Structure 1
Amino acid sequence: MNIIMISLDTLRADRLGCYGYGKRTTPYIDQIASAGVLLERAYAADIPTEAAHTAIFTGKVGLTTGVVSHGSDLAYLPKSVQWLPSMLKSAGFVTGAVDNLYNLKEWFARGYRYYINSSGKKRWIDGRTVNDLAMSWIREHKDDSFFLFLHYWDAHTPYLPPQPYVGQFYAKDKDPSAPHNSSMHRAYSHPAYPFFKHHHYNLLGPVTDAEYVSALYDAEIRYLDDLIMELDDFLQRLGLKEETLLVLFGDHGESLTEHDIYWDHCGLYEQTVHIPIIMRWPAGMPRASRVQGFVQHADLMPTVLEAIARDAPDGIDLSAIKPPDDMDGQSLWPSILGAAEGTLHEVHLSECAWQAARGVRTQRYKFIRNYDTGLFDRAPRELYDLLADPEERHNLAEQLPALAEEMEGRINRYVSGKLSGRRDPMMRQITEAQLPFRRRIESILAHVGLTWDEWLANPRRERYDTLEAKRATP
């Protein structure tokens, strides 16, 4: 058995056909889901990218590893923490990755015999590059028992899909730069504008229609779907498709203007924390099913380890892949076999990048406790009835104070239990080093002579552009 784990960065669940989306973004991934296992309510307990992937490859949530943030100099994963690629390499798998997370933190390259850094001269990475590198590696190792991790960034900003895909989601007779359209005004007036101006908006051109930007996101997903189909066809031609466990997952989702978040992944709202997880098993293992209960990223590692134990290739040392006793994640196999519905009765959520917040999501309610709102105007406590208000538009924290208090107590007890007396890494981050993305904004503002407080008092696009132009003038 071979294993290919694929991170579909920034892919929110409700933008896939197999999760109920009405537009044709994922016809091929939908086929994979129909032949495999789809986790209907999978959640990114820790966001964004750095914290999420650490949980995936350790089977532990951020409070256990201490990795709760993204871009923080305080975060470090000790080498004593068991890491999925390292375990598989020790067991006898040939391990490879086409990825660039090593550019963030060194631990993302641990355990790989072959680590192919997909970064190039541009900030963004086209999935075409990932496919070309991956297929070359697979061809070379087709006779080995291998583990391969692939990281696709196409759904992440900047949204720059090949032009033929755009017309499938944005009418060709519409002008995305029509002067009468003001729907981009709120995005351009947001305090995060200096960051996204350089990393996104400048690359799109003079867009005035917010619907166009969201259509580009769908187009990127459609392009990604074709890349996955190409990769799968390649496995079929090599005779590897029926021998390979394929695991597709989003590391987090994306807000497309919801909650005053413009094409980014912060906030513990469903758009960002509800993610797709789809698995297709090798021949002879369980086939099509949909799991309806709550699961989380940390469940992937014990699930993969159990899959290997159930169908180990010749020459694999099973003693090297014994699941660690201190994992937070649980194997999904009972759910896959119909003996359970998910691994959790409630999901605890965490973020520490643009904002610092924790949340808990139950069958009906979600509660969010905001500790540092960064660039955003948020209430300290948010409570949503997801049955009556699935878009999380109506904060009930003041109307239902007893319930809000009870749910905050759940978070506090959960945090205390995970830390077991250790210092809270989130509190350390916001008291000792500030939010990582605040530092990024402050650095950008410094180049035009603005302080953080000055900018927050008057975050106008025209003001920033004028100051930037003056600084650029010799």
Structure 2
Amino acid sequence: MKIILVSLDTLRASRLSGYGYGKRTSPHLDAIARDGVLFERAYAADIPTEVAHTGVFTGKIGLTTGVVSHGSDLTHLPKSVEWLPNLLRAAGFTTGAVDNLYQLKEWFARGYNHYINSVGGNRWIDGKKINELAMPWLEQHKDESFFLFLHYWDAHTPYLPPASYVPEFYEAGRDPYDPSNASMEPAYNHTAYPFFKHHHYDLVGNVTDTAYYDALYDAEIRYLDDRLKELDDHLAKLGIREDTLLVLFGDHGESLTEHDIYWDHCGLYEPTVHVPVILRWPGRIAPGRRVPGLVQQADLLPTLLEAVRRESPAGIDAARLADPEDLDGRSLWPAIEGRAEGTRETIYLSECAWQAARGIRNDRYKFIATYDAGPFRRPPRELYDLQEDPHETANLADARPDIADALESQLNAFVAKKLAGRPDPMTEQLERRGLPFRRRIEQILNGAGMTWDAWRRNPDRALFDRAAAGKQHR
């Protein structure tokens, strides 16, 4: 038995043609979905990258593991917490990864016979490099039962796709650097600008048109899609495509100017928390299934363990792969086989990096409670009717306090039950360290001789650029 788990970092579900997007960003992903099952409403319960992947590999949300923040020195995952690669390796699988999450936290390298760190000289990683590292490993282990984790970062900022991919998504004759276009001004004069200037804007150039950034994001997805086709073609060449359970998921999505978020993945809004999940397993998963109900990333671990128990491959001790205790995830197999519409009626959401917030999403409504807005301006309570307002433009918290109060009460009760008297890790993060990404901005501002309070009152791009340039010349 062969399992390939593929993380598609920063891939927003609604930007894929298979999820209804009108542009041709994902022809091969769409083909994989047609040969398998696509989950229409899959969610990242915890965002962003560090907490999302921890949930995937433990089958537990952050309130269970205590891992709720990203980039925090307070975060620790005890080795006693059961971890998917450890479980599979102990059962007899050869385990491998092409990934760089080890750069974030040591636990991401646990359980692998072969951990190939894909980190390079740049902060971003080209999917071509992932394939160059993964394909020889596949050739070496094609005759074994294996688990391989692949982590593609192409859709993550900075968006730097090959130039040939951009024209399909950007209107011909349009000038991305037109000085008369002021659509980028809100992004350039945002409180988060000092961080994105270095990590994004300076690398792309002095763009004036927000539509160009959106086109770059689409082009990155299309480029990623081609890399996935290369991987799939290689599986066919090796003769193992039909034997491989292929699982693809987005760790979180991406906001493209919505809710005052400019090409980043924060906020518990649909662009960031609604993610693609697609599975293909020829002969075991019927093609063409689309699951309409709510599921979450933590469901992947029990789904994979059940798949191994069902298959009982030679040389694998499938009996060792009972579901760990205290799982938040539930097997997707009833939904895959049409016996259920999803795995739950309610998804609980959490973030603690740029902002600190929790949310609850059911079939119709989403409620968000914000505890620290970081560099953003947020009301303490937000309520959206996702049936009538799928883009979350009308906050109904004041107009429908009955619904908002009921959902907030349900959210608070859930948090209290999960903590069971333990300290709240989000509260500890805010009280002891503050928001990790606010601290990053503060460090950048300090380097330019500016303060957070002054900058938050007047986030002026020209002001920061002059201050930063002045410090560099001294």
Secondary structure of 2:147's counterpart equals strand
- CA distance in 2 between counterparts of 1:38 and 1:323 reads 24
Superposition deviation, residue 379 in structure 1: 0.3
Say yes or no: does 1:5 pair with 2:5: yes
Q: Is the CA contact (8 Å cut-off) linking 2:355 and 2:372 kept in structure 1?
A: yes
Structure 1 partner of 2:167: 167
1:126-275 alignment runs, 5 A limit: 126-275=126-275
One-letter code aligned to 1:394: A
What RMSD, in angstroms, separates the aligned Cα atoms of the two structures? Answer: 0.8
1:11-160 alignment runs, 5 A limit: 11-160=11-160
Q: Is the CA contact (8 Å cut-off) linking 2:5 and 2:148 kept in structure 1?
A: yes
Gap runs ≥5 in structure 2: none
Q: Is the CA contact (8 Å cut-off) linking 2:8 and 2:250 kept in structure 1?
A: yes
Structure 2 partner of 1:282: 282
Structure 1 partner of 2:431: 431
Q: Is the CA contact (8 Å cut-off) linking 2:36 and 2:282 kept in structure 1?
A: no
Q: TM-score, normalising length from structure 2?
A: 0.99
Say yes or no: does 1:296 pair with 2:290: no
- CA distance in 2 between counterparts of 1:346 and 1:231 reads 35
- CA distance in 1 between counterparts of 2:85 and 2:211 reads 40
- CA distance in 2 between counterparts of 1:428 and 1:434 reads 9
Q: Quick check: 265-274 or 393-402, which moved more? A: 393-402
Q: TM-score, normalising length from structure 1?
A: 0.99
- CA distance in 2 between counterparts of 1:436 and 1:173 reads 41
- CA distance in 2 between counterparts of 1:28 and 1:214 reads 21
Gap runs ≥5 in structure 1: none
The superposition leaves residues 343-387 of structure 1 with CA deviations (integer Å, 9 ceiling, x where unpaired) of 111111000000000000111111000000011110000011111
- CA distance in 2 between counterparts of 1:460 and 1:466 reads 10
One-letter code aligned to 1:302: P
1:368-447 alignment runs, 5 A limit: 368-447=368-447
One-letter code aligned to 2:113: R
Structure 1 partner of 2:321: 321
Structure 2 partner of 1:354: 354
Superposition deviation, residue 285 in structure 1: 4.2
One-letter code aligned to 2:356: A
One-letter code aligned to 2:35: A
Superposition deviation, residue 286 in structure 1: 3.5
Superposition deviation, residue 252 in structure 1: 0.3
The alpha-carbon distance between structure 1 residues 331 and 36, as it changes in their structure 2 partners (threshold 3 A), is same
Superposition deviation, residue 192 in structure 1: 0.3
Secondary structure of 1:275's counterpart equals strand
Say yes or no: does 1:457 pair with 2:457: yes
Superposition deviation, residue 99 in structure 1: 0.3
Superposition deviation, residue 284 in structure 1: 4.2
- CA distance in 1 between counterparts of 2:97 and 2:312 reads 21
One-letter code aligned to 1:386: L
Number of residues paired by the alignment? 474
- CA distance in 1 between counterparts of 2:285 and 2:398 reads 50
The superposition leaves residues 297-329 of structure 1 with CA deviations (integer Å, 9 ceiling, x where unpaired) of 100000000011111221001132111121110
One-letter code aligned to 1:449: G
Q: Quick check: 377-386 or 398-407, which moved more? A: 398-407
The superposition leaves residues 25-66 of structure 1 with CA deviations (integer Å, 9 ceiling, x where unpaired) of 000100000110111100000000000000000000000000
Superposition deviation, residue 454 in structure 1: 1.2
Task: Give the % identical residues.
Answer: 65
One-letter code aligned to 2:436: P
Secondary structure of 1:202's counterpart equals helix
Superposition deviation, residue 283 in structure 1: 2.9
- CA distance in 1 between counterparts of 2:250 and 2:438 reads 25
- CA distance in 2 between counterparts of 1:221 and 1:437 reads 26
Superposition deviation, residue 288 in structure 1: 2.9
The superposition leaves residues 201-227 of structure 1 with CA deviations (integer Å, 9 ceiling, x where unpaired) of 000011000100010000000000000
- CA distance in 1 between counterparts of 2:228 and 2:312 reads 26
The superposition leaves residues 244-291 of structure 1 with CA deviations (integer Å, 9 ceiling, x where unpaired) of 000000000000000000000000000000000000013344433111
- CA distance in 2 between counterparts of 1:127 and 1:152 reads 6
- CA distance in 2 between counterparts of 1:286 and 1:225 reads 23
One-letter code aligned to 1:42: A
- CA distance in 2 between counterparts of 1:289 and 1:210 reads 36
Superposition deviation, residue 397 in structure 1: 0.6
